[in-house]
A and B are shown apart, each in its own frame.
Chain A
């Protein structure tokens, strides 16, 4: 329902509120351009375009972490999509006892938080010799996403007519080929929803890489920023702000172009803790 028009005073209040919400980001942005002479004068705006912080931030560590974050995000989402779409399809088409049991098992994954299992996970990962690898992050994110993604795909599969599969198998199409070539493209809305709701979670995650990674070569962006900040306690934070801006840009671009879809997805996805 979109009923009333807002009155002018309401609109002005909303604009002020909107600016307040944007303020920290604008503050971050201007701090990244403020030269050392006025850096510690909080009320002064940059008087010229000072780019040295960006030059300092754009060193090897940043590109390495950007690459790591990209790898972990792409493979984490990709693996989840690959295996959950198949599982969701199977769950929506079969009603045998085994499948109903697996459905309930996965439902526990929607309720039980990963927090409690972090320590056994840490031990498990070490015993599998996966400690300090990016693969382990991919596997952990995937395991955490599987319940939600499977239910999402299962719900979307229900809206696709079975006749499609039947005619494909009469034409001699094997089940795997049939799924990937015919069904999966039709599940694109589910894939889109899943990506747009979870890409931010992986990219912005701090605690998982903090626990499971320890070498700088493997580190993703967020823990790298914090580490970089701790190493600069005595000097000014200019380069830290520049790093924050750079780490934010990919998601910002994505958000601007996909805002509408993302908001819809957030509502569907918000049931998962």
Chain B
């Protein structure tokens, strides 16, 4: 065996362990899930092929449709409200001031907190006789008090607001990295030309932040689709189906009702949404890289 071939097989050998684990525990189950999504299957016995029935049923199941609607609401809120807030936070943190280290740590800190711990605290704060309602009472807004997580109208909006505690810091980190990558001399040149304030922001900062923006957008939408821990622990999707997310609906269909084929179809639907968003994000980022 010559040296070249030996190098080739050494490379294959180096690749093999990662490839085996990836194929067995990631790729193979993914391919299987496509097949299972076209079957009726309770976990035991043989899956029965039923064509697109699971997929059509998804859209008449309030758990799934409400889950999907809620995820979309959350994604829109994320883009319209959370996104500008995170950018604002990043711009402010990017300035020089004494307490910078403290503020940066405080805003990033929630990012590392588990959603379980977050759920425990928020659940306590938002109870009917909890901290928030008590504050409202003291301030004279008795009529505003609400069982925030237990009322049809408020349960999911409350959960969306709770996600902001961690999402804003996370997105601000990405924006801040984007801000730091903008070369200072571009601003200096523009200022020499007489541009200032908002003009600088609109014509330099915003366009230069596009790559960061697409990443944040992607994370926001995927986060909304995959939200599970908060509604699972805080409301279990209730009251009714008002705080379901798509992931929670899939989980319950599979592991509470043993409706595996159907749940897999829900999982595939969820995966399709995420893949579409990922491809859009990747192609936008690619294009930007070519331009720059």
B213 at the interface (CB under 8 A from A): no
A241 at the interface (CB under 8 A from B): yes
Alpha-carbon distance A139/B18, docked complex (angstroms): 11
Alpha-carbon distance A72/B30, docked complex (angstroms): 23
Task: Summarize A's interface: helix, strand, loop or mixed.
Answer: helix
Interface residues of A in 63-116 (CB under 8 A from B): 79, 82-84, 86-87, 89-91, 93-94, 96, 98-99, 102, 105-106, 108-116
Interface residues of A in 1-50 (CB under 8 A from B): 1-6, 10-11, 14-15, 17-19, 21-22, 24-25, 27-28, 31, 40, 42-43
Stretch at the interface among A52-60, A140-148, A185-193: A140-148
A120 at the interface (CB under 8 A from B): yes
Alpha-carbon distance A231/B22, docked complex (angstroms): 38
Is the beta-carbon distance between A1 and B179 smaller than 8 angstroms?
Answer: yes
Is the beta-carbon distance between B96 and A179 smaller than 8 angstroms?
Answer: no
Which residues of chain B have C-beta atoms less than 8 A from A90's C-beta? 11-12, 14-15
Which residues of chain A have C-beta atoms less than 8 A from B226's C-beta? 113, 115, 273
Is the beta-carbon distance between A18 and B102 smaller than 8 angstroms?
Answer: yes
Is the beta-carbon distance between B22 and A10 smaller than 8 angstroms?
Answer: no
Alpha-carbon distance A248/B229, docked complex (angstroms): 17
Which residues of chain A have C-beta atoms less than 8 A from B115's C-beta? 204, 206
B251 at the interface (CB under 8 A from A): yes
Is the beta-carbon distance between B129 and A42 smaller than 8 angstroms?
Answer: yes
**Nearest-CB distance from A30 to chain B (Å)?**
11
Mask, A99-137, CB within 8 Å of B = 1, is 100100110111111111111111110000000000000
**Nearest-CB distance from A23 to chain B (Å)?**
9
B134 at the interface (CB under 8 A from A): yes
Is the beta-carbon distance between B99 and A108 smaller than 8 angstroms?
Answer: no
Given A116-B268, A119-B260, A87-B27 contact (CB < 8 Å)? no
Is the beta-carbon distance between B270 and A115 smaller than 8 angstroms?
Answer: yes
Is the beta-carbon distance between A273 and B218 smaller than 8 angstroms?
Answer: yes
Q: Which 8 A-B pairs have CB atoms at the shortest separation, nearest pair first?
A: A204-B114, A116-B271, A143-B25, A18-B106, A87-B18, A116-B267, A120-B32, A117-B29
Besides A18-B103, A24-B122, A204-B113, 5 new A-B residue pairs in contact (Cβ under 8 A), listed by A number:
A22-B109, A28-B117, A111-B274, A179-B14, A259-B108
